[in-house]
Amino acid sequence: MGISKKEMSSRPTGKVSYDNSGRVVLVSGGAGGIGQAICEQFFRSGASVVCMDVDEKAASKLSKGIAFYPGDTSRESCCREAVDSAVEQFGALDVLVNNAAIQPPDSYVPLHELSQETWNRMVAVNFSGYTFLAKHAVRQMKQQASGVIVNLASGQAHRTARQVPCYGPIKAANVLQTMQWGVEYAREGIRVVSVSPGAIDTPLVAASLEAQGGGQDLANRHPLGRIGRPQEVADAVLWLSSPAASFITGTDLQVDGGLGAFGAFADPYPS
């Protein structure tokens, strides 16, 4: 996928200092990529974790002890059942991570070539799915008078490129969902935050590079000189959902190796 392993840092991963014992966490799209790292980090730090995903086969590779709910986030009934299943199994819902999103190859087109089918599916998963899961999570969190919702947005929520007429605008909407829900429930003990990753080494990015013909030097576009690891996004999610971030709500954190700070006018780094 055009990204050499030596460009990745040697930072040890998988070590978490947060204690999530007794907390119940629901992660959508937790069977692969960033969601999988989030499930595993929460699980390692003591949480009871439910992974909701459409990919049952991939979910079988999660650590034993992580519960699985097979479901499609674009269907509200599945979202309600996933929340109910977490509460029935573990008695509460402390953290929801809205992570499941898609970027199919046929979405890489200029606006005038976009099909209604592709648009509708991306809105259904990447936007409506976040709303449905949050709606049912909030019902439970209001009863508890506590909870945290973390939305996975994207660097593409903040700046854009050619041929992404769906993905970027919908990711921007994820940041506005974060702000609106954060404001709505601030007095009810519920915090809402989002993270906007730069390019992270996951199947979604591999497929995206392929759809764009390959050959991009993605690592070099990040001031840190490499793309990120799923665990590095998971670290940010764990911190934001911990009491250490108790005064943070309705806002977005860019976890992007400096990508967002790097101006288009700047001299490119030598390859």
Q: Minimum Å distance from CB 19 to ligand NAD?
A: 25
Say whether 145 sits in a helix, a strand or coil: coil
125 binds ligand NAD (CB under 6 A): yes
DSSP 79-102: HHHHHHHHHHHHS---EEEE----
DSSP 171-192: HHHHHHHHHHHHHHTGGGTEEE
Annotation says 167 is catalytic: yes
Over the window 146 to 165, marking each residue x when it contacts ligand NAD by CB under 6 A and - when it does not, the resulting string is ------x-xx----------
Query: What gap in Å lies between CA 91 and CA 89, rounded to an integer?
Result: 6
Query: What gap in Å lies between CA 229 and CA 162, rounded to an integer?
Result: 25
Among 8, 114, 123, 204, binds ligand NAD (CB under 6 A): 204
Among candidate residues 69, 108, 130, 167, the one labeled active-site is: 167
Residue 38 phi/psi, 5-degree rounding, is -65, -45
Pick the piece of the chain touching ligand NAD (CB under 6 A) from 32-40, 89-97, 186-194, 243-251: 32-40
Q: Where are the beta strands (DSSP E) in 82-162?
A: 95-98, 147-152
Instruction: Report yes or no: 119 and 163 within 8 Å, Cβ to Cβ.
Output: no
Which residue's Cβ lies closest to ligand NAD?
Answer: 33
Q: Please state, in angstroms and as integers, the Cα–Cα distance from residue 88 to each residue in 70, 76, 80, 82, following that order.
A: 16, 18, 12, 10
Among 32, 147, 165, 168, binds ligand NAD (CB under 6 A): 32
Instruction: Report yes or no: 181 and 203 within 8 Å, Cβ to Cβ.
Output: no
242 binds ligand NAD (CB under 6 A): no
200 binds ligand NAD (CB under 6 A): yes
Among 20, 41, 99, 118, binds ligand NAD (CB under 6 A): 99
31 binds ligand NAD (CB under 6 A): yes
Q: Minimum Å distance from CB 121 to ligand NAD?
A: 9
197 binds ligand NAD (CB under 6 A): yes
Pick the piece of the chain touching ligand NAD (CB under 6 A) from 69-77, 79-87, 142-150, 184-192: 69-77
Query: What gap in Å lies between CA 271 and CA 156, rounded to an integer?
Result: 23
Q: Minimum Å distance from CB 101 to ligand NAD?
A: 3
Cβ-based nearer residue to ligand NAD, 81 or 188: 81
203 binds ligand NAD (CB under 6 A): yes
